[in-house]
Amino acid sequence: MDTLQQRLAEVRRRIATAADRAHRDPAGIMLLAVTKIFPAQVVRDAYALGLREFGENYVQEFEGKLPQLGDLAAARFHLIGHLQSNKCARAAEMFDCIQTVDSPKLARRLNQAGKPLDILLEVKLSPEQGKAGAPPEELPDLIAAVRECPNLRLLGLMTMPPWSADQEQSRPYFQRLHELAGRHGLPQLSMGMSHDLEAAIEEGATIVRVGTALFGKRRKP
Ligand SMILES: *Cc1c(COP(=O)(O)O)cnc(C)c1O
């Protein structure tokens, strides 16, 4: 069994190698440690190894963990799972960044919570990506709505391509997201996971969301 420290070193090496191929500075790529389903102690272990940015998918699950993480002063938490509008107030309290905003209604609900939040818009680039995410043609209205919310700081776009073992299948999605972010003047691109982070970095990712490669297999939610 590898230790978390060894797996972290391997993920950092993969990020550095891909950045090097793309002539990019790896310092411009955030490693977001995805700790969904894993207990609070796993977040603490990762924090002890220097990780500071954490991704969680479920508001309710995170509610159970957060009380055990209060002393991790520099930790920042990102919601990367689908958000229901009735959970916006709670999500705004617990998270620093919401990466899954996909409707003006969700943006307004988050804004109403009254806490400053970093925001990424989740984009759906094909029907196979499921229900979550705004299609590209809705982005102009969605961006305008978020920019009218004084508590929301719009940073960029996020997407999750349909799963494939071959990361070349993800690449066109990453290229498309990059192009959309450029068109709308948004600096952050959250794309790439354990199996396709190299292609994502080559296509401009500034945030890679990595769970399995750091923490191993998850049980089903
Ligand atoms: C679970 C999850 C990840 C991490 O996936 P791994 O394959 O475990 O690295 C990244 N992004 C989102 C949106 C997820 O739900």
Q: Does ligand 1 have an atom closer than 6 angstroms to the CB of 211?
A: yes
The DSSP call for residue 163 is P
Distance, in Å, from the CA atom of 183 to the CA atom of 186, rounded to the nearest integer, reads 8
> Of all protein residues, whose CA lies closest to atom 13 belonging to ligand 1?
80
pLDDT tens sequence across 114-144 = 999 999 999 999 988 888 999 999 999 999 9
Ligand 1, atom nearest to 34 Cα: 4
> Of all protein residues, whose CA lies closest to atom 12 belonging to ligand 1?
80
The answer to whether the beta carbons of residues 106 and 83 sit under 8 Å apart is yes
The answer to whether the beta carbons of residues 107 and 145 sit under 8 Å apart is yes
Which pair of tokens denotes residue 46? Answer: 């990762």
Q: Tell me the pTM.
A: 0.97
Which pair of tokens denotes residue 216? Answer: 């191993």
Ligand 1 midpoint to CA 211 (Å)? 6
Between the two ends of the chain, the Cα-to-Cα distance in Å is 24
Closest CA to 209 of 78, 88, 97, 70: 78
DSSP codes joined into one string, 9-63 = HHHHHHHHHHHHHTT--GGGSEEEEE-TTS-HHHHHHHHHTT--EEEE--HHHHH
Distance, in Å, from the CA atom of 48 to the CA atom of 163, rounded to the nearest integer, reads 31
Ligand 1, atom nearest to 99 Cα: 13
Ligand 1, atom nearest to 212 Cα: 8
What average pLDDT does this structure show over 96-107? Answer: 98
Residue indicated by tokens 């990424």: 120
Is it the case that residue 7 has pLDDT exceeding 90?
A: yes
Q: Does ligand 1 have an atom closer than 6 angstroms to the CB of 57?
A: yes
CA 85 to chain centre: 19
* Ligand 1, pocket-test mutation among 34, 37, 131, 170, most atoms within 8 A of CB: 34
Is it the case that residue 221 has pLDDT exceeding 80?
A: no
Domains of the chain with CATH codes: 4-214 (3.20.20.10)
Q: Does ligand 1 have an atom closer than 6 angstroms to the CB of 193?
A: yes
Distance, in Å, from the CA atom of 138 to the CA atom of 136, rounded to the nearest integer, reads 5
The answer to whether the beta carbons of residues 106 and 113 sit under 8 Å apart is no
Ligand 1, atom nearest to 80 Cα: 13
Given this model, what pLDDT does residue 61 score? Answer: 97
Q: Does ligand 1 have an atom closer than 6 angstroms to the CB of 167?
A: no
What average pLDDT does this structure show over 63-89? Answer: 98
pLDDT tens sequence across 38-72 = 999 999 999 999 999 999 999 999 999 999 999 99
Report residue 220's pLDDT band, with 50, 70 and 90 as the boundaries.
confident
Which pair of tokens denotes residue 137? Answer: 């043609």
Question: Over pLDDT 90: what percentage of the chain?
Answer: 95
Alpha-carbon Rg for the chain, nearest whole angstrom, is: 17
Q: Does ligand 1 have an atom closer than 6 angstroms to the CB of 212?
A: yes
DSSP codes joined into one string, 119-146 = EEEEB--SGGG-S-SB-GGGHHHHHHHH
Is it the case that residue 1 has pLDDT exceeding 70?
A: no
Ligand 1, atom nearest to 215 Cα: 8
Distance, in Å, from the CA atom of 200 to the CA atom of 14, rounded to the nearest integer, reads 12
